[in-house]
Amino acid sequence: MENLTKISVEQCCIYYKIELSFIQKLDQHGLISLISSGEGAFITYEQLNDLEKYIHFHYDLEINMEGIETVVHLLERIKKLQQEVKILRNYGQEEQFTNFDTAT
């Protein structure tokens, strides 16, 4: 069952037509986590979307590893801020309803 949730790094490199060193650098920079076993290195299926994003950043947009780290950090920050805005909006709507009920 465990083999169904991961794919070998070599298979990823062949499928995406990328260098093994690129995936190793992503792992070294903490952007993905490789699983090592006696059979080789693997990446979980859950990380494939992120891997595809990093491939696009690096090969299509020519962003280096440090730039990818920065972009990922900023995207995470934006997502967190959007969640905070959503919470504040929901809180504001609750306040409006509370004030409306007490006004009538």
Q: What pLDDT sits at residue 91?
A: 86
Q: What pLDDT sits at residue 104?
A: 55
Q: What pLDDT sits at residue 3?
A: 55
Q: What pLDDT sits at residue 102?
A: 59
Tokens of 25: 């650098």
Name the CATH topology of 2-103.
Multidrug-efflux Transporter Regulator; Chain: A; Domain 2 (1.10.1660)
Q: What is the phi-psi region of residue 62: left when phi exceeds 0, alpha when psi lies from -120 to 50, beta otherwise?
A: left
Mean pLDDT of 10-32: 97
Please check the confidence at residue 79 and state whether its pLDDT lies above 50.
Answer: yes
Report how far residue 98's alpha carbon sits from residue 92's, in angstroms, rounded to the nearest whole number. 10
Q: What pLDDT sits at residue 72?
A: 97
Q: Are 6 and 42 in contact (CB under 8 A)?
A: yes
Mean pLDDT of 48-57: 97
Q: How many helices (H) and strands (E) does the chain have?
A: 4, 3
Q: Are 35 and 2 in contact (CB under 8 A)?
A: no
Mean pLDDT of 39-53: 96
